[in-house]
């Protein structure tokens, strides 16, 4: 089990390390350490702390590791709801495969070694642009179970994920809850990279079809993953040609469009246009 010493070998600052056994202890620890001015941080895999801490973009004097908390390690169905704990790794999700769309998206995050450390909650709450693991939950109107100073609360993901997960100070993501209907729905998922098989993605597209409603979520186009009702409105005009629907959908995209070493804004839009046409083709008759 990785502990304080493992992380301090590669980080330029010291911190205290805590491993609470339950949610109450974790939340109370955060409040106490925050009062001490320690700038506490919840984590489970620690990959982002190591990555950003090395380049002075993350700092803490106290780490609260949630991987020993039972609720955060859960993968189970309960009353037609799939519950997944935030400390479950992407490798565990791939092996269990409880949500095929999630498996398809998350199994291509980073490389195999990194996926053994990256957790679901860590990916959703990360500061990096991509955060592909959130896409299936945005499409499925999943609910998030959050623990904080006021206890547990459940909130619909599209209400609290606006470019990033809007947690309040002292709150942590405990679980996702997804209705079985969405898990069994037809889906389409694809990732395009500019460079190599495990390089950063250029565009990741996830699509889900519920009845005659097509839902689409995108990562890598903007500095945040998103699902756009305006984009979906144009894509769901089934009487129009696919190219027309896609062109109209592109006009409704949020801004800004990323332009970096992975690809220009124009190239990203070019790739996305073809991915959307392919998604429409793949899902047009699905579930009919």
Q: Are residues 76 and 177 in the same domain?
A: yes
The answer to whether residues 136 and 231 belong to one domain is no
How many helices (H) does the chain have, and how many strands (E)?
Answer: 13, 14
Question: Is the domain of 49 the same as that of 111?
Answer: no
Supply the pTM of this predicted model: 0.90
Tally of structural domains, the chain? 3
User: For 153-189, how does the pLDDT look when each residue is reduced to its tens digit (9 = 90+)?
Assistant: 999 999 999 999 999 999 999 999 999 999 999 999 9
Residues 78 and 169 reside in one and the same domain: yes
Same domain, 169 and 202: no
Output the domain CATH number for residue 9. Answer: 3.30.43.10
Same domain flag for 154 and 191: no
User: H helices of the chain, where?
Assistant: 4-8, 23-35, 47-53, 90-96, 100-106, 112-115, 120-124, 135-139, 157-160, 180-183, 229-235, 242-250, 265-283
pLDDT at 2 exceeding the cut of 50: no
113 and 176 inside one domain: yes
Q: Please name which of 84, 85, 82, 81 lies closest in space to residue 68, comparing C-alpha atoms.
A: 85
CB 10 within 8 A of CB 54: yes
Q: Report the DSSP beta bridge partners of residue 4.
A: none
Question: Is there a domain that residue 288 lies in?
Answer: no
Domain span including residue 109: 70-182
**Cα 179 to chain centroid, rounded:** 17
Same domain, 75 and 161: yes
Q: Is 50 contained in some domain?
A: yes
Q: Are residues 131 and 111 in the same domain?
A: yes
More confident residue, 262 or 268: 268
């Amino acid at each position: 089990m990785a502990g304080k010493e493992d992380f301090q070998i590669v980080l330029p600052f010291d911190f205290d390390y805590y491993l609470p056994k339950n949610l109450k202890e974790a939340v109370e620890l955060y409040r106490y350490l925050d009062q001490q001015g320690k700038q506490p941080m919840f984590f489970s895999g620690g990959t982002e702390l190591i990555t950003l801490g090395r380049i002075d973009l993350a700092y803490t004097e106290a780490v609260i590791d949630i991987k020993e908390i039972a609720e955060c390690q859960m993968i189970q169905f309960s009353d037609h709801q799939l519950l997944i704990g935030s400390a479950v790794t992407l490798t565990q999700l791939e092996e269990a495969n409880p949500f095929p769309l999630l498996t398809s998206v998350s199994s291509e995050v980073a490389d195999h070694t990194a996926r053994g450390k990256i957790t679901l909650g860590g990916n959703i709450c990360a500061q990096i642009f991509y955060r592909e693991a959130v896409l299936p939950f945005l499409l499925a109107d999943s609910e998030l179970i959050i623990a904080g100073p006021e206890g547990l609360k459940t909130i619909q993901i599209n209400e609290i994920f606006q470019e990033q997960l809007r947690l309040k100070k002292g709150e942590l993501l405990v679980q996702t809850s997804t209705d079985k209907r969405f898990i069994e729905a037809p889906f389409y998922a694809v990732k395009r990279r500019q460079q190599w098989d495990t390089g950063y993605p250029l565009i990741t597209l996830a699509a889900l079809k519920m009845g005659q409603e097509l839902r689409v979520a995108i990562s890598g186009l903007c500095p945040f993953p998103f699902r756009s009702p305006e984009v979906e409105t144009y894509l769901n005009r089934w009487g129009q040609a696919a190219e027309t629907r896609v062109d109209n959908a592109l006009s409704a995209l949020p801004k800004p469009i990323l332009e970096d070493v992975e690809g220009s804004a124009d190239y990203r839009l070019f790739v996305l246009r073809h991915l959307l046409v392919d998604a429409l083709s793949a899902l047009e008759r699905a579930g009919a």
